Amino acid sequence: MVDQMQHRDFFSTGRSVAVSRNGMAATSHPLATLTAIDVLKAGGNAVDAAVSAVAVQSVVDPMMTGIGGDCFALYSPSGGTPIAINGSGYAPAMANANYYSMKGFQAIPDDSPHAVTVPGAADAWCHLISKYGSLAMDRVLLPAIAAAEQGYVITPRVAADWDRYKARIMAYPDAQNFFLPEGKPVETGAIFKSPALAGTLRKLANEGRKGIYEGEIASELVGLLSSMGGLHEESDFSEFRSFETRPISAAYRDYEVVECPPNGQGIAALLILRILDGFDLKDPRFSEADRIHLLSEATKTAYTMRDAIIADPKNVTVDIDEILGEKTVEKLRSSISMQKAGRSHRWDGPDHRDTVSIAVVDSYGNAISLINSIFFAFGSGIYAPRSGILLQNRGSGFVLDPTHPNCIGPRKRPLHTIIPGMLRKAGQTVMTFGVMGGQYQAVGHAHLVSQILDRSMDPQQASDHPRSFWFDGVLNLEPTIGEDVKQELERRGHKVAWAEEPIGGAQAILIDHGTGILSGGSDHRKDGIALGY
């Protein structure tokens, strides 16, 4: 178990860590958390609760996630060896770089049908429930169907995001008409219904994956995309399958951090942690500026490598163990100066932003970290009105350089930023967690783990701690970080800016196998909460 957690300052604003002994859920939306707890109390296991919660969040947080998106999960049965589930969609069979180059594309437009890969989320949910769940799919999806059919209350962060990103759907009349009733975003406290989506969820509940990937829903999606110039065919949907794979991991202190393998960016999180592992961050002489500087320098190295190698699993040829090995990592560590910022590299791809993360542990010790995303806020902006599905734009993460492993191609999966995480010690899972925020997620995993293991924070304190994020040449700081820290980082040569919006979000549940006590946190930057019973 991790070291004794520090007590929080009860004079300061904030919330206490959630504690319980029977089961716990942490999500970024209160209704999703309540749903997971209800499912656990009704006899469902962690998988049932997580899928039920993410289905609800796909209704009530539609610009962040949905069944038109993708899903990854790490599942640890009874706290044992984790299993990775890859529910990321692939490009159409007709897609190839030459086609787009001949049309003059320099990149895949993020608001076009060419950015829409086959959504993998619903298939992954079905896989999880059929293989690891204890309840039937119709029971699991019941809360989401009710929310879509009867309506749900708009929460503050959802309303803020709806307003901030409304321009994403302006180009598509069907999306605009549905998501901007009376021509404007819905506000906090409003009731919003999604009757078409309720029907689709009911179809998924009754027919399983065939209800989405075959028949009238698949036909509508393919017809809509084809009418816009997309290359999708119904066989791309009917033949799609999510799959299981073996996780990757690396040591940090005397723990094991577990991630999904490529095409996710989990290897970047592991590489950052491996670099940090060579520095004694428990030492009180490390200032906040030191910690932020070191994290940003490790990020530059890890993201440069990430952007060069991560692609569809079939196209990854590097030796991951070698990359994470001490010989490679020590060379990378030794290049870091604590007093001077290193060189930056330029990011040429799209910004990866919007996701939801679910963490659940049940009374049997089963633990799951599940993450679900439609990529950009409101995804591609392409909305299918009969099925109520808003399609993601994950295909804009491909590159068009035919020599790059992440070049678009027939039925290839693109680089993904969404990554679930787990922490293990002595053969047992001791934390399930996830960090939202697109490009930030790998950094967020490293930051969260370090705050807990190096600074003895509980999951809520670690989540609440002010964040920094180096990306594309700029070190962004949340304004809760002091001006003196900003000036010191500038003195070391960083280009520093105050973050325009909160950096990411997090959910985490710690498991004390000695006492059976669960400790959970949910990020204050979102609407969510961690609850146990």
261-314 pLDDT tens trace: 999 899 999 999 999 999 999 999 999 999 999 999 999 989 888 888 888 888
The Cα 246–Cα 242 span in angstroms is: 14
- CA-atom Rg of the chain in angstroms: 22
Amino acid at 459: P
Query: Is 355 known to be catalytic?
Result: yes
Dihedral sign, Cα of residue 85, residue 24, residue 22, residue 464: positive
Average the pLDDT over 216-234 and give the result. 98
Which two structure tokens, joined as six digits, stand for 471? 């990306």
Nearest to 400 by CA among 106, 94, 93: 106
- Alpha-carbon 435 to chain mean position: 6
| Helix boundaries (H) for 259-409 | 266-276, 288-309, 320-324, 326-334
pLDDT tens string 78-129: 999 999 999 999 999 999 999 999 999 999 999 999 999 999 999 999 999 9
Edge-first strand listing for the sheet containing 529-532: 243-245, 83-87, 70-76, 367-375, 354-361, 24-27, 529-532
- Determine the pLDDT at residue 345: 63
Residues with Cβ < 8 Å from 138, sequence gap 6 or more?
205, 206
Which two structure tokens, joined as six digits, stand for 529? 């909460």
Give me the residues paired with residue 84 across strands.
74, 245
- Determine the pLDDT at residue 352: 44
Q: What percent of the chain has pLDDT over 90?
A: 87
Question: For 480, what's the count of Cα atoms within 13 Å in the CB-facing half-sphere?
Answer: 10
Average the pLDDT over 45-61 and give the result. 98
Place 526 in a pLDDT band, splitting at 50, 70 and 90. very high
- The kind and range of the H/E element at 140 are helix 137-140
Nearest to 384 by CA among 196, 193, 150: 196
Say whether 19 sits in a helix, a strand or coil: strand
Among the options 35, 155, 299, 355, which is catalytic?
355
CB 112 within 8 A of CB 380: yes
- Determine the pLDDT at residue 353: 54
The Cα 97–Cα 192 span in angstroms is: 41
Helix, strand, coil distribution of the chain in percent, nearest 5: 40, 20, 40
Q: Is the pLDDT at 44 greater than 90, yes or no?
A: yes
Question: For 392, what's the count of Cα atoms within 13 Å in the CB-facing half-sphere?
Answer: 33
- Determine the pLDDT at residue 472: 86
DSSP state of 376: S
For tokens 């027919």, the residue is 207
Question: For 502, what's the count of Cα atoms within 13 Å in the CB-facing half-sphere?
Answer: 18
- Domain span at residue 462 reads 1-533
Q: Is the pLDDT at 463 greater than 80, yes or no?
A: yes
Angle at 348 between CA 343 and CA 353, to 5 degrees: 100
Average the pLDDT over 315-343 and give the result. 90
pTM for the structure as a whole: 0.95
The Cα 300–Cα 277 span in angstroms is: 16
Q: Is the pLDDT at 350 greater than 60, yes or no?
A: no
Average the pLDDT over 471-477 and give the result. 93
- Determine the pLDDT at residue 354: 59
- Determine the pLDDT at residue 7: 80
For residue 229, report the phi and psi dihedrals to the nearest 5 degrees: 100, 5
Domain count, the chain: 1
